Amino acid sequence: MPSGIRGKDLAGLRKMNTAVVIRALRARSPQTVSQLTSTTGLSRPTIEGLVETLSARGWVAETEGSPSGRAGGRPARSFRFRSEAGLVVGVDIGLHKVVMDLSDLAGETIARVREDTDPEMTGLARLEFLRTRLAALLSAQSVTSDRLLAIAVGVPGMVDSTGRFRSQVIPDWNDVDLARRLADTFSCRILVENDANLAVVAEHWRGAAALVDDAVCILAGRRIAAGLLLSGRLHRGRRGGAGEMSTLPHLGLGPAHESLRWSGERLPGESDIEALTRAAAEKDPRALAAVHDFARRLAPAIAALILAVDPELVVLAGGISPLADALVPSLTEELDHMTQHVPPITASTLGEAVVARGAVRRALDAVNRELLDDPESLTPMT
């Protein structure tokens, strides 16, 4: 075999083995060299060489010595993946709010901010708002944008394979390449995804759907859309439009949120949903009637999804999730008349951060692919 080909093969093998070690340490840290040898199937000399290289690059760190298992023996060398070696930001931006989640490579939140937005803001002003708020978050945490590995943004509408966005919610952003626009300010990888898709990703990652592989996540507030998880994988559809139910006027989802307007007693600072949730918990007849009316409007769209997908679980997320205790019984009753089987229905466990958390997971997936493909392509934080 020519030496040039042999060199390429050896480099490829080393890259593959490096990825195996990174994947093992990301799955469980810390591990000793012996544990890594058992976990990966690689030889001890290979493991020792790779962890030294990864330590020198900043992706792996040696931990305090752990017992070797031998009386009086030296502590076994133990290594962990440095989850602090990089940062990602997940963003949820819509017509009325922005939520941003700064996380490390283990997906642990370092900082999260939420801010209301002006629904009358122009598309250009909203883009500048997003830029400045991202920069402010990074500055507040003493992180410059060039230290980020990825930003993922969840938006209310269809996102095609090129990253272009179409929405009835923010029509000024139709056909805008949001990732390219943000790349003018932030030098890291930037991704854009539908918000409901990110919600179901978040629920499967660390939420109510963590133990199921077929789930529907209803993201509902002023707009209603669904994210679909099929066989453990996000289903986006051919053009990224799977689950965009509110675009079909015959379903009547557009005005459905009007059922949740609350004209009854309100405590200082309470939103409509908060007041309605409190009143429903107190069995206020007006509140229960409002919740049931919303369930009646929502049920046909969910029934269609249940009949088409037959999910293991339906998760209620977004602005309506606090209402779940009152909404689930009414929704189950309505669906019972429309479908052959009503799957379990539950509330999101992630609250208003659900889309931002899904965006974090999307950003981490992109970083993982790049890191496992070529660890030298990314520069870790020291």
How do residues 264-314 score in pLDDT, each as one tens digit?
898 998 999 999 999 999 999 999 999 999 999 999 999 999 999 999 999
Between strands 148-155 and 189-194, the pairing is parallel
Residue 5 pLDDT > 70: no
C-alpha to C-alpha distance for 214 and 232, rounded to whole angstroms: 6
Residue 67 pLDDT > 50: no
Express as a percent the part of the chain with pLDDT over 70: 94
- Per-residue pLDDT, averaged over 81-91, amounts to 95
Q: Are 286 and 279 in contact (CB under 8 A)?
A: yes
C-alpha to C-alpha distance for 141 and 133, rounded to whole angstroms: 13
- Type and span of the H or E element at 108: none
The pLDDT value recorded for residue 292 is: 96
What order of strands is seen across the sheet that includes strand 189-194? Answer: 109-116, 97-104, 87-93, 148-155, 189-194
Residue 145 pLDDT > 70: no
Residue 73 pLDDT > 70: no
The model's pTM is: 0.91
Give the list of residues 6+ apart from residue 251 with CB closer than 8 angstroms, or none.
245, 300, 301, 304
Band (147; pLDDT cuts 50, 70, 90): confident
The pLDDT value recorded for residue 72 is: 54
Vertex 349 angle, CA 344 and 355, to 5° = 105
Q: Are 343 and 313 in contact (CB under 8 A)?
A: yes
- CA proximity to 355, closest of 181, 123, 98, 164: 98
The pLDDT value recorded for residue 120 is: 94
Which amino acid is residue 189, in one-letter code? R
Q: Are 347 and 335 in contact (CB under 8 A)?
A: no
Give the list of residues 6+ apart from residue 132 with CB closer than 8 angstroms, or none.
none
